[in-house]
Amino acid sequence: MVRDRRDLGIAEAAGLVGTEVLARLRVDETGLTAGDAAARLAVYGPNAVVSHRARALPVLWHQVRSPLLGLLLAAALASAFLGEGADAIIIGVIVALSVGLGFVNEFRAERAAQALHSQIRHRTIAIRDGRPEPVDVTVLVPGDLVELRLGDVVPADIRLLEVTGLECDESVLTGEPVPVEKSVPPVAVGGALADLSCAALMGTVVHGGQGRGVVVATGGRTAFGRIAAGLSTGQTETEFQAGLRRFSMLLVYVAGALTTSIFVINVVLDKPLLDALLFSLAIAVGITPQLLPAVVSTSLAAGSRRMRRRKVLVKRLVCIEDLGDVSVLFTDKTGTLTQGRISFMRAVPTGGSGDDPLRWGLLCTEADVVDGQAVGGNPLDLALWASPAAAAYRIGLDRYRRLATLPFDHDRRLVSVLAADGAGHRVLVTKGAPEAVLARCANVPNGARDVLAAEFAAGNRVVAVATRPAGDVSTLTAEAERDLRLSGLLVFLDPPKPDAAQALQRLAGLGIAAKIVTGDNATVAVKVCQDLGLPVTGALTGADIDRLDDAALAAAIPATAVFARVSPEHKARLVRLQRSAVGGVAFLGDGVNDALALHAADVGISVDSATDVAKDAADVILLEKDLDVLADGVVEGRRIFANTIKYVLMGTSSNFGNMFSAAGASLFLPFLPMLPSQILLNNLLYDISQLAIPTDNVDEEQLRRPSHWDIRFIRRFMLYFGPISSVFDFATFAILLWVFHAGPELFHAGWFVESLATQTLVIFAIRTRCVPFLRSQPSLPLTLTAFGVVTAGALLPGSPLGPTLGFQPLPGILFPVLAGMIVCYLALIETGKRLFYGAPHRPPKAAAVPARRHQRRRAAYFSIGHQPPGR
């Protein structure tokens, strides 16, 4: 196929009748063949607007964009021009190694994110070779016939050919929150996007009804694609990233004040200007946690691999830490507490002899029926059509012709079908939530409510079916659902999961309160919870929620375990109020009615089999809808956060103390306490030792509670433990100067070894609140790396590189002295740790996650692993 010189755009197609559009796109009502689709895909390219490919240059820029590094390199170049070439080369090599180390680890994490994203698939129903079949949204091409149902994200710019109550939420394009009603007749050419009532636009969401249309434009040629092309590639900041930013700003202020003071004082004391500048900048680099992004990225990459093995996918790696902050989980019942394999049990006639609710229930469906099987329907319809009882009706139903369908929506909680038999007699069949169906019946047979109550009490799911003659119905609307006659009840079984009780206990052990939000009947939900041992202290229905104001509902949420017969707005309101009270709120859902709550939660969680709009709104995708899998993700998030905090606390204790000591010593020593290149080398070796922190073990106590950033705690830690490190530094200065009468080279070597050992080995005290090694074992990689770096640092002054770096070999008697001081330092840290953690401290409430940028997140729905056309 050769691409047209002028492609048909959606604005032009909206001005043509449907048959003209089909003719222009060279397709008929049977859709494209597989061969035609493949040929067009080769011409038009994939239906994508962004790429999730890991790119090396942005990662490298992230490593080198630090202004401190730029100033340091500039100063090194200046020193080279002034004859200090050796120092300049040493500084350049150390900076290059530091940047390279960070780049390698962060790029690995980006590649891990790419692999995760490539596993997430979004599908739509397209007509290929005359049959509806699910296809990946990225392979849609102009000319494809596509079916749209409730909850779908519209996969391309589509000219509608058939609609039944179709409404689309176009807020991602227009900003208007009110859904737009769609129709088929063409509109005037030249109208705005909001005026294209006969078109469904890429990226919008089917809010109600259903429809069918032909794809006109894909990828960057769509209206949404043009908007996505102008979006920045940056991601929305998560709470974890916000904490990292706040911590980094704290150190920037500290480093800025310290660096400026050191430089000014050294200049006032008539020390060489260039030396003072290099020394000040080196101190700033030493305080800055330069490899913190690499430590975080390494943790995330390792965590994502472990979570992938546990069948958990995250759209963004940083969402793993946010999982660790969860303290309240709102979740639906089906497939989470129950097995999710719904099976049809029986039909219970209530309309008298000869009534057959199963026949009417099979006829009343939104699904397409192909070869006697339902395609694309809801789980209850699929279970009904797959049941052995349905086999006897498949031939008899052929004599009925469906004239119109009024799709299910969450306000009515019903679906209705207008059908005619071979003689032309019309019948309206309505099926849905029993309370809604019974409210529309003219008379409810005696005993029907008692039968319904008994089924609910047994924990069964029940759908009611009602009918009426429909000779007066020409257009099927909600107003026609009246004066019905109850035909009977359809009873389904969805038994509890065998391991759900254990999973609920595990979540409770992690400090997570599980709350059930369901569209099912309250009695059924309470019965399932009781069977699983979940304490049900209270239950509220949607009607109860409507009667409560925000203050009263917020007060009721902690004591309520079950929320039943709730609408999408109810779910979002519950999540919003809970977030305002405690933060750390997760929502697990898989339906279109869950999208609002998924967006409102701190962490939105869905499953791979969920509706498009639910997966689009979620941050985390579970390949299995299992609470135990979710608990694994929470533990992994807390593990990564705990290990990240270890690095942070190290940087704000001994590392900060050592840099502060160097700054103070420079004021009274006739020489610099450590050369700029030595400070940078010390910092590089220290950072290398900490790259094994992501492998470290985490105490069970730290995993049993939600984790989030506490800048006040970090500041207290810095002001408490930093001076302890400085005390031992000055003791080392005194011994070197007054006992060993050290000159500059010996002083540099002695303090280099002592400072590297203290700031590296302190990890074993800081990593746990218990006694290290005895009650809390570090990981083997961390142990080997830390002691290996300390050993290398101790041997460095006596090595051939020592003189080049400005060191003098240490006398043998100095080693046991330094070792004794290091042991005393660690013992004092251990004592101080007990006093520090014994003091009362009130942790802050988890901060709210910033509002998500829905356009960027929706663009990720149409993402491929390489650069899309036109970008």
User: What distance in Å separates the CA atoms of residue 313 and residue 311, rounded to the nearest whole number?
Assistant: 7
Q: Which pLDDT score, from 0 to 100, does residue 870 have?
A: 52
Q: Maximum distance among all alpha carbons in the chain?
A: 114
pLDDT greater at residue 770 or residue 707: 770
88 contacts 80 by C-beta, under 8 angstroms: yes
Quick check: 250 pLDDT over 50? yes
The whole-number average pLDDT for the span 99-125 is: 69
Residues 327-363 have pLDDT tens digits of 899 998 877 788 877 889 999 998 665 678 988 998 8
Q: Which pLDDT score, from 0 to 100, does residue 334 have?
A: 78
User: What distance in Å separates the CA atoms of residue 395 and residue 399, rounded to the nearest whole number?
Assistant: 8
Strand, helix or coil for residue 338 = strand
Which residues are paired to 515 by β-bridges?
330
Tokens representing 340?
């999710």
Q: Where are the alpha helices (DSSP H) in 45-153?
A: 56-64, 67-81, 85-119
Quick check: 441 pLDDT over 90? yes
Q: Which pLDDT score, from 0 to 100, does residue 236 have?
A: 47
- Nearest residue to 382 via CA among 368, 402, 400, 398: 368
DSSP-derived letter for residue 628 is H
Strand, helix or coil for residue 712 = helix
User: What distance in Å separates the CA atoms of residue 298 and residue 102, rounded to the nearest whole number?
Assistant: 10
Q: Which pLDDT score, from 0 to 100, does residue 78 have?
A: 65
> Kind of pairing, strands 603-607 and 585-588?
parallel
| Active-site residue, selected from the candidate residues 144, 157, 275, 332 | 332
Q: Which pLDDT score, from 0 to 100, does residue 106 have?
A: 67
- Nearest residue to 672 via CA among 259, 262, 79: 262
Tokens representing 578?
């809970």
Quick check: 436 pLDDT over 60? yes
User: What distance in Å separates the CA atoms of residue 130 and residue 28, rounded to the nearest whole number?
Assistant: 10
DSSP 554-620: HHHGGG--EEES--HHHHHHHHHHHHHHT--EEEE--SGGGHHHHHHSSEEEEETTS-HHHHHH-SE
Q: Which pLDDT score, from 0 to 100, does residue 757 have?
A: 92
pLDDT greater at residue 591 or residue 371: 591
The whole-number average pLDDT for the span 384-400 is: 81
Quick check: 229 pLDDT over 70? no
Considering the chain, what is the average pLDDT of its residues?
Answer: 81
Q: Average the pLDDT over each of 426-435, 570-579, 708-717 and give the range with the smallest value.
A: 708-717
The whole-number average pLDDT for the span 799-811 is: 91
Q: Which pLDDT score, from 0 to 100, does residue 848 have?
A: 45
Q: How far is CA 702 from CA 312, 355, 387, 510, in A?
A: 22, 61, 49, 10
Known active-site residue 356: no
Winning range, highest mean pLDDT, from 294-303, 647-656, 688-697: 688-697
Residues 22-81 have pLDDT tens digits of 999 999 988 999 899 999 999 998 888 765 566 777 777 766 766 556 655 666 676 677
Residues 170-202 have pLDDT tens digits of 877 876 767 889 999 999 887 778 889 999 998
The whole-number average pLDDT for the span 575-604 is: 81
- Length of the chain measured in residues: 871
Q: Which pLDDT band, with edges at 50, 70 and 90, does 849 fall under? A: very low
Quick check: 235 pLDDT over 80? no
User: What distance in Å separates the CA atoms of residue 201 and residue 209, rounded to the nearest whole number?
Assistant: 16
49-75 burial by CB neighbour count: b if 16+ within 10 A, else e?
Answer: bbbbebeeeebbebbeebebbebbbeb
Neighbours of 757 (CB within 10 A): 24
The whole-number average pLDDT for the span 141-164 is: 89
DSSP H/E element including 417: strand 414-420
Q: Which pLDDT band, with edges at 50, 70 and 90, does 2 fall under? A: very low
Residues 92-104 have pLDDT tens digits of 776 777 677 767 7
556 contacts 544 by C-beta, under 8 angstroms: no
Q: Which pLDDT score, from 0 to 100, does residue 234 have?
A: 45
Tokens representing 376?
């694309």
Residues 473-519 have pLDDT tens digits of 878 888 999 999 999 999 998 888 888 888 889 999 998 999 999 88
- Residues 6+ away with beta carbon under 8 Å from 11: 189, 190, 191, 196
pTM of the model: 0.71
Tokens representing 817?
């002295």
User: What distance in Å separates the CA atoms of residue 868 and residue 853, rounded to the nearest whole number?
Assistant: 21
Quick check: 429 pLDDT over 60? yes
Percent share of the chain, pLDDT over 90:
26
